[in-house]
Amino acid sequence: MAGQPDIDAAARLLESGELVAFPTETVYGLGADAENPAAVAKIYAAKGRPSNHPVIVHLAPGADIGRWAMSIPHEAGALIDAFWPGPLTLIMKRASAIPSAVSGGQDTIGLRCPSHPVAQSLLRAFKAGKGGIAAPSANKFGHVSPTTARHVRDEFGDGSDSAVRCILDGGQSEVGIESTILDLSRMDSLGPVLLRPGHVSPEDFARVIGRLPASPDAAAPRASGTLDAHYAPRTPVILAAPDRLPAILQQLNAAGRKVALMRRMLPHSSDVTAQLALPMTPHGYAHDLYAALRAMDLADADIIIVEAPPRDAEWQGINDRLRRAAHDSAGILSTLLKPIV
Ligand code: TXA
Ligand code: MG
């Protein structure tokens, strides 16, 4: 676990325009000084991410939101009181003094105050707690988000040639999937819009602001975490309904394909190359999900099959990530079921 000297050293690196990876309660972030466009550009280069995709700005507890956002709706204050620090990102109109590089040129800004103690110490040490750390998840564009320091090293290396100058270790991320993103930038016309489901649910919002958020529409700002193909390991992933799983396994075996299987209970009779049991509860499942996908990706299988979890509201964030990881299930399956020639 990173101690205060490591955290202070990381803060100095950020202040000098370098990249630092740090733990949050959701996933690990790849951080840069949000007010330094050259430093933000290094994030895009290291991730291989298109530069028109906005990045979330992380703030210390009690930071002055008015320095970052303008025309702040009153709902924002209520949501901040209820859910910060925590896994919630709020999109608002960007203050004019904040460089647009961090927003991919859009006139909005995504703000979040993380609850992880190492993230909070880093935010307090960086620019005496008055700065913002721009940080997307610390993975290559489109790949599975990291939930341990080891995952970040696997993505970017840690040698002297790595663009990531320091990786702060904070253990395994507690929540395990990325923050809920709520767009409050067009309250007058659209009301609150849910851009990415997560641990903070629509019902949680309704309890605080008295209404459920709308689903994203075509006019919503682009969020890379909302692209169809995202959060994916290199091995093709398919989602299989529990009742279809035995037949799919049998067909893949008959076609000579190596299968890595993830489900909430261990399979008993099937012939698989690798298998992993995930927890029964949504919180436990989210906590383990990305580490499991990474482990299955190393199993040298032709395909990763994830047994579809329940569709209840508390599984919404998980189902969203799984759908994107498995965005072409039908195509993958038909290719793999053709005989090997
Ligand atoms: O839990 C998380 O949110 C993690 C940790 C590190 O905080 N971060 C994360 O960042 O998942 P990233 O970049 O992988 O996903 C953030 C999403 C992206 O899809 C991005 O497009 C969207 O937030 N986003 C950021 N600022 C935005 C803005 N101004 N308008 C619309 N979407 C925005
Ligand atoms: Mg990401």
What pLDDT score was predicted for residue 243?
Answer: 93
Q: For 13-21, what is the mean pLDDT? A: 98
Q: Which ligand is nearest to the CA of 139?
A: 2
What pLDDT score was predicted for residue 161?
Answer: 84
Cα separation, 22 vs 56, in Å, equals: 14
For 291-338, what is each residue's pLDDT tens digit?
A: 999 999 999 999 999 999 999 999 999 999 999 999 888 888 888 888
Residue 226, Cβ density class (10 Å: 0-12 exposed, 13-18 middle, ≥19 buried): middle
Ligand 1, pocket-test mutation among 108, 122, 145, 181, most atoms within 8 A of CB: 181
Cα separation, 309 vs 1, in Å, equals: 33
Q: What are phi and psi of 304, to 5 degrees?
A: -105, 120
Structure tokens belonging to residue 143: 């790949």
Ligand 1 atom nearest the C-alpha of 139 is 14
Maximum Cα interatomic distance, the chain, rounded to a whole number of Å: 63
Cα separation, 254 vs 177, in Å, equals: 35
DSSP SS3 for 233: coil
Cα separation, 291 vs 121, in Å, equals: 25
Structure tokens belonging to residue 178: 């990325």
**Whether residue 85 has a cis bond before it, omega within 30° of 0:** yes
For 255-300, what is each residue's pLDDT tens digit?
A: 999 999 999 977 666 789 999 999 999 999 999 999 999 999 999 9
CB 43 within 8 A of CB 136: yes
Q: What is the 3-state secondary structure (H, E, C) of 164-231?
A: EEEECCCCCCCCCCCCEEEECCCCCCCCCEEEECCCCCHHHHHHHHCCCCECCCCCCCCCHHHCCCCC
What pLDDT score was predicted for residue 271?
Answer: 82
Ligand 1, pocket-test mutation among 56, 107, 183, most atoms within 8 A of CB: 56
What pLDDT score was predicted for residue 224?
Answer: 59
Lowest average pLDDT, out of 158-162, 166-170, 308-312, goes to: 158-162
The rounded Å distance from CA 1 to ligand 1 centre is 25
The rounded Å distance from CA 299 to ligand 1 centre is 30
Cα separation, 190 vs 119, in Å, equals: 33
CB 36 within 8 A of CB 134: no
Q: For 72-83, what is the mean pLDDT? A: 97
The rounded Å distance from CA 54 to ligand 1 centre is 7
For 94-123, what is each residue's pLDDT tens digit?
A: 999 999 999 999 999 999 999 999 999 999
Q: Ligand 1, atom 12: nearest CA belongs to which residue?
A: 136
The rounded Å distance from CA 175 to ligand 2 centre is 15
The rounded Å distance from CA 300 to ligand 1 centre is 31
What pLDDT score was predicted for residue 340?
Answer: 63
Does the pLDDT value for residue 209 go beyond 90?
yes
Q: Which ligand is nearest to the CA of 54?
A: 1
C-alpha distances out from residue 142 to 47, 55, 155, 229, 321, Å: 9, 14, 12, 7, 11
Domain annotation for the chain: domains and CATH numbers: 4-209 (3.90.870.10), 237-336 (3.40.50.11030)
The rounded Å distance from CA 251 to ligand 1 centre is 39
What is the pTM assigned to this prediction?
0.95
With a Cβ cut-off of 6 Å, ligand 1 is lined by 24, 26-27, 29, 53-56, 89, 91, 103, 106, 108-110, 112, 135-137, 178-179, 181, 195, 221, 223-225
Lowest average pLDDT, out of 68-77, 219-228, 266-275, goes to: 219-228
Mean pLDDT, the chain, as a whole number? 93
Which of 125-129, 223-227, 233-237, 245-249 is most confident? 125-129
